Structure 1
Amino acid sequence: MSLLTHLLACLLGMGSWVSINGLWVELPLVVPQVPEGWYLPSYLSVLIQTANVGPLVVTLVHRFRPGALNEAAVIYVIISVGTVASFLLGFLWKETVVVAGAPRSLALLALTFFLAAVDCTSSVTFLPFMMRLKPHFLTTYYIGEGVSGLLPALVALMQGVGVVRCINATQPKDGLSNSSVTFDLQAQYQPAHFSAEAFFFFLSAMMLVCLVAFVLLNHHPAVARQHPSSGRTTGAEQKPHKDRKCVEQRPMMSPCGPDGQKRRSGFGSGVYGCLEVVFIFGVLAWVNALTNTVLPSVQSYSCMPYGNRAYHLSASLAAVSNPLACFVALFLPLRSLLLMGALTVLGSAVGAYIMAMAAFSPCPLLVHVSSGSVLIVLAWVVCVLTLSYVKVMIGVILRDEGHSALVWCGAVVQLGSLLGAVTMFPLVSVYGFFSSGDPCSTTCP
């Protein structure tokens, strides 16, 4: 019956970010029908980062009043709010209200804030909840978290979001006569196979599935047998839980130890020194800043100059790479800090190449050569694959360090995402540092 627990853990992870990920992939259909136009993504970025007030409150409660927060109750509330908000979005996303003399999508923005609060708070509640299960189920949870980005992307692909057809556009040159014309290719977006309303109802159904999965994780007898305290355990399994009461009931920075003595560091079980703790959390913040905000904000700039096919391949394969990395980590849960650092350097170097191509847009390197398209798609796959594996490695490490370590893990994930968004928002939306490429025609020297 451990397969059932794996499935439920995966479905719980899927519900962590499925709403916001789904909203982002649906933007090409939403933007043309709302008064904010293409300023909407900028507004949504600000709302999502504002919603970090949720994880901030949860983290502060865990820090100053350990054990006072009922995580199960909080998770029930946030999943229910996410389900209702996604459902209401299907009815209200096009509704406008006049604010300061101009129409605004007030319902869309308000419901997005609630969805963002749900997803951000999941980072500091779902992970600590996974402490109730055996360690290998945490990797399954990360697979589900990867699916939360993959599944909406696949549904949007079936819906036909962002599919472009290049058509010939013949126009009189300088408006003089029909005998003097210019021939050009223009991008024409194809109509979707089903509506945005249906897509939002699908997101609501996914949140409902997550809610059912959480209920079963709490109450199904087969899941209870997968708790660390149930069944027979080996000596290696008993050691991490020897001082579970101390680890789980005190803040992560507590000096509590198995014999009442102060450990060489106040982090979790005391296995890691202070510099190692700083390294782990520094890498966690850096990796999440790259994968959650920095690189996604320039994906279209880095890929679109190479053509619509390169853009869709990079988006689709990158979405697949996330759960694939988690699946690999299920069988190879390595804890080497040296390997973590090497993979972070590799993923960051590939990410720097992606950023450089975005900065050179609409004329990046090898823009008119097929190898350029292959390189940019491969770069996205390698970058997401390596950095996603690093995130799982850190999750596995912190899982062994106790409940409070996973709370701080979620908090640092959101902090890294916030810093990435604060950095990229002015570059993309205020100063216009990046220029879009035309998927049908790009004139470069």
Structure 2
Amino acid sequence: MGSWVSINGLWVELPLVVPQIPEGWYLPSYLSVLIQMANVGPLFVTLMHRFRPGALNEAAVIYAVIGLGAAASFLLAFFWRETAVVAGAPRSVALLVLTFFLATVDCTSSVTFLPFMMRLKPRYLTTYYIGEGLSGLLPALVALVQGVGAVSCVNGTSNSSDGSVTFELQAQYQPANFSPEVFFFFLGAMMLVCLAAFLLLNYHPSVARERPVGYADRGKDKRKRAEQKPMMDPYRAAGQKPRSGFGTGSYSWTQVLYIFAILAWTNALTNVVLPSVQSYSCLPYGNNVYHLSATMAAVANPLACFVAMFFPIRSLLLLGVLTVTGSGVAAYVMGMAALSPCPLLVHETSGGVVIVLAWVLFILTLSYVKVIIGLILRDEGHSALVWCGAVVQLGSLLGAVTMFPVVSVYSFFSSGGPCNNRCK
């Protein structure tokens, strides 16, 4: 759960943080840029694995990553409101710097946590993905208890330029049950729990029995472990020559590129593209629909991983079908966001039901695809999982580069208010 819990937690806390800092609602745009800048972490790790295999101590990097995440989370609790004058204007320097450290931690987890799973039996990879899914669900549930985004619609008036007064419903946000400081302390405590869990994974005697057969935890054997024969090899019969120089050679280079293209595409959609327009696609149907879609999508992620634990179908054809299905649903969600604040069925109950179901189906299908690709690449060895993490970050980066100007610079999308929708 420590993989993305810090950044996911920061995102769900924005409604309470934004009103108290000088950046206002420009903060999400700054966060998107900082998260992509933090890809310097996975880039460094990937290059080290490529040019200096065996030189990087994976466990040491993970200890450093989790420790930095815990420290940054606790420091946020004390300094997130602090400002400094930069270029003649107050800026939340401490918040932005600490966010960069949190993003570096979370981005680097993709290229360290996944390869570490080579030290455990293949079946545990699905539980890794379940935990990664919970890293988004758990902060969302805590924010729900906190009361983030709780809004009530009250009668109010507004004055127009010609002096006339109009009566309309106005959004009134309810005070939170506890402060952002307490929430950041919770994030720090979560990272400490993750540190304790990782210590147990390295040193508890019972974990040693769950190592793969023939596993040797020595830096000199890393290249040998990367060449281990996969447990399941559906595309190459015994004694058949390798089909490529990738991993064990189970897949041709065309299939490898196909797998990585799907991985980059699904992560771009699920991590950046669709989340950046979630409010535009859901708020026109009402605040309750927006929160329900966010919560159900967070539940769908670990649910898809749980399904993959019992039905791990390693079929490249199925991956393609599910990717096309999820992308089609994503196109519908994107279309509703583009039509905001007047999407289809905006005044109908069915409209809210359809958009919630669309979000759930989108997350279910593409999360299952990501888990199955992880299982396939795990069978291909240690270096394949390193590249898996690198492509995950690459897909997210490309998604951010695409969506940032569309959403934040050119303001292509317009949101419907939680209480007033002027569509006729």
Above 0.5 in TM-score? yes
Q: Which residue of 1 aligns with 2:16?
A: 29
Which of 81, 89, 93 in structure 2 is aligned with 1:94? 81
> Could you list the runs of 4 or more consecutive aligned residues of structure 1 that deviate by over 3 angstroms after TM superposition?
170-176, 243-247, 259-262
Q: TM-score, normalised by structure 1?
A: 0.89
What secondary structure does 2:157 align onto?
strand
Aligned-pair CA distance for 1:263: 2.6
CA distance in structure 1 between the aligned counterparts of 2:52 and 2:223, rounded to whole angstroms? 15
Q: Which amino acid aligns with 1:248?
A: A
CA distance in structure 2 between the aligned counterparts of 1:172 and 1:205, rounded to whole angstroms? 48
Aligned-pair CA distance for 1:171: 4.8
What secondary structure does 1:385 align onto?
helix
What secondary structure does 1:125 align onto?
helix
Which structure 2 residues correspond to residues 55-66 of structure 1 after superposition, within 5 A? Answer: 55-66=42-53
What secondary structure does 2:416 align onto?
coil
Q: Which residue of 1 aligns with 2:202?
A: 218
Q: Which amino acid aligns with 2:153?
A: C
Tell me how many residue pairs correspond in the alignment: 411
Q: Which residue of 1 aligns with 2:192?
A: 208
Residues 294-315 of structure 1 deviation map (CA, whole Å, 9 limit, x = unaligned): 0000000000000001000000
Residues 82-107 of structure 1 deviation map (CA, whole Å, 9 limit, x = unaligned): 00000000000000001111110000
8 Å CA contact 2:146–2:176 kept in 1: the answer is yes
Q: Which amino acid aligns with 1:193?
A: N
Q: Which residue of 1 aligns with 2:366?
A: 387
8 Å CA contact 1:300–1:311 kept in 2: the answer is yes
Aligned-pair CA distance for 1:246: 3.6
Q: Residue 423 and residue 174 in structure 1: after superposition, are their counterparts in 2 closer, same or farther (change >3 A)? A: closer
Q: Residue 172 and residue 433 in structure 1: after superposition, are their counterparts in 2 closer, same or farther (change >3 A)? A: closer
CA distance in structure 1 between the aligned counterparts of 2:263 and 2:345, rounded to whole angstroms? 33
CA distance in structure 1 between the aligned counterparts of 2:138 and 2:61, rounded to whole angstroms? 25
Which structure 2 residues correspond to residues 219-298 of structure 1 after superposition, within 5 A? Answer: 219-229=203-213, 246=224, 248=226, 263-298=242-277
CA distance in structure 1 between the aligned counterparts of 2:206 and 2:272, rounded to whole angstroms? 38
Q: Which residue of 2 aligns with 1:312?
A: 291
Q: Which amino acid aligns with 2:151?
A: V
Aligned-pair CA distance for 1:428: 0.4
8 Å CA contact 1:289–1:417 kept in 2: the answer is yes
Residues 111-170 of structure 1 deviation map (CA, whole Å, 9 limit, x = unaligned): 000000000000000000010000010100000000000000000011000111111113
Aligned-pair CA distance for 1:64: 1.0
CA distance in structure 2 between the aligned counterparts of 1:191 and 1:136, rounded to whole angstroms? 44
CA distance in structure 2 between the aligned counterparts of 1:51 and 1:58, rounded to whole angstroms? 12
Q: Residue 184 and residue 260 in structure 1: after superposition, are their counterparts in 2 closer, same or farther (change >3 A)? A: same
Q: Which residue of 1 aligns with 2:142?
A: 155
8 Å CA contact 1:247–1:269 kept in 2: the answer is no
Aligned-pair CA distance for 1:182: 2.6
Identity of aligned residues (%): 76
Q: Which amino acid aligns with 1:19?
A: S
After the TM superposition, which of the residue ranges 60-69 and 311-320 deviates more from structure 2?
60-69
CA distance in structure 2 between the aligned counterparts of 1:263 and 1:174, rounded to whole angstroms? 74
Aligned-pair CA distance for 1:189: 1.0
CA distance in structure 2 between the aligned counterparts of 1:123 and 1:386, rounded to whole angstroms? 20
CA distance in structure 2 between the aligned counterparts of 1:183 and 1:245, rounded to whole angstroms? 71
CA distance in structure 2 between the aligned counterparts of 1:288 and 1:159, rounded to whole angstroms? 29
Q: Which residue of 2 aligns with 1:81?
A: 68
Q: Residue 57 and residue 262 in structure 1: after superposition, are their counterparts in 2 closer, same or farther (change >3 A)? A: farther
Q: Residue 363 and residue 72 in structure 1: after superposition, are their counterparts in 2 closer, same or farther (change >3 A)? A: same
Aligned-pair CA distance for 1:67: 1.1
Whether 2:327 is the aligned partner of 1:343: answer no
Whether 2:171 is the aligned partner of 1:187: answer yes
What secondary structure does 1:124 align onto?
helix
What secondary structure does 1:208 align onto?
helix
Residues 267-296 of structure 1 deviation map (CA, whole Å, 9 limit, x = unaligned): 111110111000000000000000000000
CA distance in structure 2 between the aligned counterparts of 1:67 and 1:281, rounded to whole angstroms? 24
Q: Which residue of 2 aligns with 1:199?
A: 183
What secondary structure does 2:172 align onto?
strand
CA distance in structure 2 between the aligned counterparts of 1:343 and 1:221, rounded to whole angstroms? 40
8 Å CA contact 2:73–2:102 kept in 1: the answer is yes
What secondary structure does 2:181 align onto?
helix
Q: Residue 139 and residue 244 in structure 1: after superposition, are their counterparts in 2 closer, same or farther (change >3 A)? A: same
8 Å CA contact 2:6–2:69 kept in 1: the answer is yes
Q: Which residue of 2 aligns with 1:164?
A: 151
CA distance in structure 2 between the aligned counterparts of 1:170 and 1:102, rounded to whole angstroms? 33
Aligned-pair CA distance for 1:264: 2.1
Aligned-pair CA distance for 1:174: 6.6
8 Å CA contact 2:54–2:222 kept in 1: the answer is no
Aligned-pair CA distance for 1:31: 0.4
Q: Which amino acid aligns with 2:331?
A: A
CA distance in structure 2 between the aligned counterparts of 1:414 and 1:365, rounded to whole angstroms? 34
CA distance in structure 2 between the aligned counterparts of 1:194 and 1:281, rounded to whole angstroms? 43
Q: Which amino acid aligns with 1:42?
A: S
What secondary structure does 1:146 align onto?
helix
Q: Which residue of 2 aligns with 1:375?
A: 354
Q: Which residue of 2 aligns with 1:4?
A: none
CA distance in structure 2 between the aligned counterparts of 1:353 and 1:157, rounded to whole angstroms? 27
CA distance in structure 2 between the aligned counterparts of 1:124 and 1:68, rounded to whole angstroms? 15
CA distance in structure 2 between the aligned counterparts of 1:128 and 1:174, rounded to whole angstroms? 62
CA distance in structure 2 between the aligned counterparts of 1:430 and 1:269, rounded to whole angstroms? 45
Q: Residue 249 and residue 63 in structure 1: after superposition, are their counterparts in 2 closer, same or farther (change >3 A)? A: farther
CA distance in structure 1 between the aligned counterparts of 2:87 and 2:300, rounded to whole angstroms? 45
Q: Which amino acid aligns with 1:131?
A: M
8 Å CA contact 2:53–2:223 kept in 1: the answer is no
8 Å CA contact 2:226–2:380 kept in 1: the answer is no
Provide the aligned C-alpha RMSD in A: 2.0
Structure 1 unaligned regions, length at least 5 = 1-13, 232-242, 251-258
What secondary structure does 1:142 align onto?
helix
What secondary structure does 1:392 align onto?
helix
8 Å CA contact 2:154–2:170 kept in 1: the answer is yes
What secondary structure does 2:27 align onto?
helix
Q: Which amino acid aligns with 2:401?
A: V
